[in-house]
């Protein structure tokens, strides 16, 4: 990763210096001075995050969803769940409409659905833009999934803005068919997507 940025820095500097007098000395000095700045480019910086907790006890965290700019208008979510009470089970995860985890997650209301599609399985149209789906938890209650998509935005005015949406972890399995919920069981975990 560091090497990549260094190479990018060299490339950028080459372009820069080619516009003026490309004196060898100043190129070298600029490169040394700019290496740190180039490494701070926000390309893969965390752009949003949701801390997930148990709906039965908000003091108990059960994981995080971290969002990154993947370039080309795409966003990557790395979702990690650590829910020992749910070890050796499947949980279903969706983005829900509202960022209010009150009333044991019920205040998030239904599935977030900016494209007005039916509920379904991620990647097989039709599906809601937050139908992350089933995640197998291991014997410690740990599971993860990574999703990269152009269905999400963090732009304030975008219809598909994910900021302020709820993320619900269900204590059952999404059948990917039942409308509009997938019959995914009780809401056992919740979090709200916040801009970083
Ligand atoms: Cu749900
Ligand atoms: Zn759905």
Residues 54-104: pLDDT tens digits? 999 999 999 999 999 999 999 999 999 999 999 999 999 999 999 999 999
What is the per-residue pLDDT across 6-27, written as a single tens digit (0 to 9) for each?
Answer: 444 434 433 333 333 333 333 3
Centre of ligand 1 from the C-alpha of residue 182, in Å: 8
Confidence at residue 5, expressed as pLDDT on a 0 to 100 scale:
42
Centre of ligand 2 from the C-alpha of residue 96, in Å: 8
Confidence at residue 44, expressed as pLDDT on a 0 to 100 scale:
76
What is the per-residue pLDDT across 113-141, written as a single tens digit (0 to 9) for each?
Answer: 999 999 999 999 999 999 999 999 999 99
Centre of ligand 1 from the C-alpha of residue 70, in Å: 25
Q: What domains sit in the chain, N to C, each tagged with a CATH number?
A: 2-40 (no CATH), 44-195 (2.60.40.200)
Contact call for residues 2 and 10 (beta carbons, < 8 A): no
Q: Pick the ligand that lies closest to the CA of residue 180.
A: 2
Centre of ligand 2 from the C-alpha of residue 18, in Å: 52
Centre of ligand 1 from the C-alpha of residue 84, in Å: 20
Confidence at residue 32, expressed as pLDDT on a 0 to 100 scale:
41
Give long-range contacts, CB 8 A cutoff, 24+ apart: 38-43: 38/5, 38/6, 38/8, 38/9, 38/12, 39/2, 39/5, 41/5, 41/8, 42/69, 43/69, 43/71
Confidence at residue 11, expressed as pLDDT on a 0 to 100 scale:
40
Q: Reply yes or no on whether the pLDDT at 143 is more than 90.
A: yes
Centre of ligand 2 from the C-alpha of residue 148, in Å: 17
Confidence at residue 151, expressed as pLDDT on a 0 to 100 scale:
98
């Amino acid at each position: 990763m560091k090497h990549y940025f260094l190479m990018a820095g060299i490339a950028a500097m080459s372009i820069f210096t080619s516009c003026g007098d490309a004196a060898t000395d100043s190129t070298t000095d600029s490169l040394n001075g700019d290496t740190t700045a180039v490494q701070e480019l926000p390309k893969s910086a965390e752009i949003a995050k949701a801390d997930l907790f148990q709906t039965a006890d908000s003091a108990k965290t059960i994981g995080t969803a971290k969002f990154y700019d993947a370039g080309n208008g795409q966003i990557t979510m790395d979702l990690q769940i650590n829910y020992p009470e749910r070890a050796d089970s499947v949980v279903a995860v969706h983005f829900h409409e509202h960022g209010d985890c009150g009333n044991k997650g019920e205040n998030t209301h239904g599935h977030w659905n900016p494209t007005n599609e039916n509920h379904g399985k991620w990647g097989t149209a039709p599906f809601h833009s937050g139908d992350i789906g089933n995640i197998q938890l291991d014997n410690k209650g740990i599971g993860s999934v990574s999703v990269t998509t152009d269905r999400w935005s963090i732009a304030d005015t975008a219809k598909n803005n994910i900021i302020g949406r709820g993320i619900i972890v269900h204590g059952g399995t999404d059948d990917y068919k039942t409308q509009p919920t997938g019959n995914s069981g009780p809401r056992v975990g919740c979090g709200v997507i916040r801009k970083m």
